[in-house]
Amino acid sequence: MFSIRASRVSFFMANIIVIGAQWGDEGKGKIVDLFTPFFDIVARYQGGHNAGHTVIIDGRKYVLHLIPSGILHPGKLCVIGNGVVIDPEALKREIGELAEGGISCRDRLFISDRAHIILDYHRLAEQGDEERRGAERIGTTNRGIGPAYEDKMARRGLRVCDLGNPRTVRSRVEESIRVKQALVPEAAGGIQVDEICARAAELGRELREYFGDTAEILNRAIDGGKSVLFEGAQGTLLDVDHGTYPFVTASSATAGGASTGTGVGPTRIDGVVGISKAYTTRVGEGPFPTELQDGTGEHIRERGQEFGASTGRPRRCGWFDAVVVRYARLINGLGSLVITKMDVLDDLDEIKICTGYRYKGERLRSFPPEVAVLERCEPEYLSVRGWRAPTAGIRDYGELPPLARDYVRRLSDLVETEISVVSTGPDRAETVVVSPDSRLESWLPLHRAGSSG
């Protein structure tokens, strides 16, 4: 039976990135939570409070948006890296909610002084921009993420380290509002520059104890033999470079983002673990070749409780797409894959797996960059028999129904990556470690910890 020991295995020192191999919501929160006992520090490197990582421990549900879920583990340090965009109001709220649950962030949470700040006008500008786009809208989470990254890239962004300098705060805020009002007149309503600047400075003072040079903190920790788990948010297909542009988020959600988003060089990172559901979901607009707009899609949504953790929006559901996950393996250099929500497929007679795309009668050799092509791709499916038996809560690979094991093997073959863990339910304990010989085991000895724990 599988159980996680709270203590860390002393010889282990790998630094690992955990990323989403699909369009986000793959269950990274649970897996990061499961891996955390083997690391000293958990670091977020991109995105912002558009993410929603749900962790269930002993039946109690925590939804974290900005703060790494490592905070739920006593003694672990958490870092919010320079690549993250921070809404200080949301951050303050999250720190407060954790405190209400008896979890203190003091001396455990470190926020990069180089991270960029989201203020209220970013959200207003985003709302205006989405309205203006009409049918072409992205379907964003409306958290101001995109406009804050726009300011960063346009070199007018306000950073954490600027909050203590009223002159910089005012000049950056004024410049940003000036540009945004020109582009999105709808954003003009309700913007009070004086109030915004005063509030930003106030929040800067209140949160100051968490701010610091996190690149220095992380690199020194690694020098001292500590290990870091880099917690990705969103997913590969939402990455601004590699995703289904323009229907993407504004940050680098792929493994490469971990280095630029924390200041830890790639040579110091040992491996990348991808997380994928046993099927596929997507929130917001954009192409989704294996989407099911029928009763089966509805069934998966209901059974999988596929509603956004941040926005509550229903998620679009579809079959597992091996083209997508193979692409994620390539882009991220995945060494190992975790399959989540296996139990959601328990009562289906037939399950389909997309093995390739056809476009204008031709089989595509790689993942197409153009949305117009993706939208017209015809998925080629392999149809397999469902196992029609409960897998929920199973903890031993041998106890999975044979057809469920076949399914896992098939996915592994199709994406050309080992599958090291299968999740059979939301709780930490509802987890199957597939093999004691996986590459994952060389980075974090889950199986050994489980079997000896």
Decide: is 51 part of the binding site for ligand IMP (CB under 6 A).
Answer: yes
Distance CA 291, CA 294 (A): 9
Distance CA 304, CA 318 (A): 12
Nearer to ligand IMP, 231 or 343 (CB): 231
Decide: is 354 part of the binding site for ligand IMP (CB under 6 A).
Answer: no
Decide: is 234 part of the binding site for ligand IMP (CB under 6 A).
Answer: yes
Q: Which residue is at the shortest CB distance from ligand IMP?
A: 284
Decide: is 391 part of the binding site for ligand IMP (CB under 6 A).
Answer: no
Interface segment toward ligand IMP; rule CB under 6 A; list 139-147, 155-163, 347-355, 434-442:
139-147
Decide: is 15 part of the binding site for ligand IMP (CB under 6 A).
Answer: no
User: Least CB distance from residue 230 to ligand IMP, whole Å?
Assistant: 16
Torsion of CA 210, 91, 13, 83, to 10 degrees: -90
Interface segment toward ligand IMP; rule CB under 6 A; list 151-159, 179-187, 247-255, 430-438:
247-255
Distance of CA 420 to the CA centre of its chain: 19
Nearer to ligand IMP, 65 or 447 (CB): 65
Distance CA 255, CA 266 (A): 10
User: Least CB distance from residue 306 to ligand IMP, whole Å?
Assistant: 11
Decide: is 146 part of the binding site for ligand IMP (CB under 6 A).
Answer: yes
Q: Which two tokens stand for residue 2?
A: 């599988």
Eight-class DSSP state of 23: S
Q: Kindly give, in sequence order, each residue whose CB lies less than 8 Å from that of residue 136, ignoring residues fewer than 6 positions away.
A: none
Decide: is 67 part of the binding site for ligand IMP (CB under 6 A).
Answer: no
User: Least CB distance from residue 248 to ligand IMP, whole Å?
Assistant: 6
Interface segment toward ligand IMP; rule CB under 6 A; list 45-53, 128-136, 394-402, 424-432:
45-53
Decide: is 249 part of the binding site for ligand IMP (CB under 6 A).
Answer: yes
Interface segment toward ligand IMP; rule CB under 6 A; list 7-15, 32-40, 188-196, 246-254:
246-254
Decide: is 238 part of the binding site for ligand IMP (CB under 6 A).
Answer: yes
Which helix (H) or strand (E) is 180 found in, with range? helix 166-183
CB-CB neighbours of 74 under 10 Å = 9
User: Least CB distance from residue 120 to ligand IMP, whole Å?
Assistant: 15
Eight-class DSSP state of 84: B
Distance CA 238, CA 430 (A): 28
Of positions 122, 123, 143, 329, contacts ligand IMP by CB under 6 A: 143
User: Least CB distance from residue 434 to ligand IMP, whole Å?
Assistant: 26
Of positions 82, 141, 252, 423, contacts ligand IMP by CB under 6 A: 141
24-43 positions binding ligand IMP, by CB under 6 A: 24-25
Decide: is 147 part of the binding site for ligand IMP (CB under 6 A).
Answer: no
Q: Kindly give, in sequence order, each residue whose CB lies less than 8 Å from that of residue 166, ignoring residues fewer than 6 positions away.
A: 197, 201
Closest by Cα among 428, 340, 396 to 37? 428
Decide: is 252 part of the binding site for ligand IMP (CB under 6 A).
Answer: no
Could you tell me the CA-to-CA distances from 80 to 164, 207, 259, 270, 316 in Å, in that order? 19, 13, 13, 20, 30
Measure the N-to-C terminal CA separation of the chain; round to a whole number of Å: 9
**What's the burial of 384, exposed, middle or buried (CB within 10 Å: 0-12/13-18/19+)?**
middle
Decide: is 125 part of the binding site for ligand IMP (CB under 6 A).
Answer: no
- 107 counts as catalytic: no
Could you tell me the CA-to-CA distances from 23 to 56, 93, 449 in Å, in that order? 22, 27, 31
Size of the site for ligand IMP (CB under 6 A): 20
Distance CA 29, CA 67 (A): 11
Of positions 15, 22, 50, 332, contacts ligand IMP by CB under 6 A: 50
Distance CA 164, CA 413 (A): 54
Decide: is 250 part of the binding site for ligand IMP (CB under 6 A).
Answer: yes
Options 49, 53, 65, 242, the catalytic residue:
53
3-state secondary structure of 449: helix
Distance CA 365, CA 379 (A): 13
Q: Which two tokens stand for residue 446?
A: 């889950």
- 194 counts as catalytic: no
User: Least CB distance from residue 237 to ligand IMP, whole Å?
Assistant: 9
Of positions 13, 57, 127, 139, contacts ligand IMP by CB under 6 A: 139
Contact 328, 277 (CB under 8 A): no
Active site residues: 25, 53
Contact residues for ligand IMP (CB under 6 A)? Answer: 24-25, 50-52, 138-141, 143, 145-146, 233-234, 238, 247, 249-250, 283-284
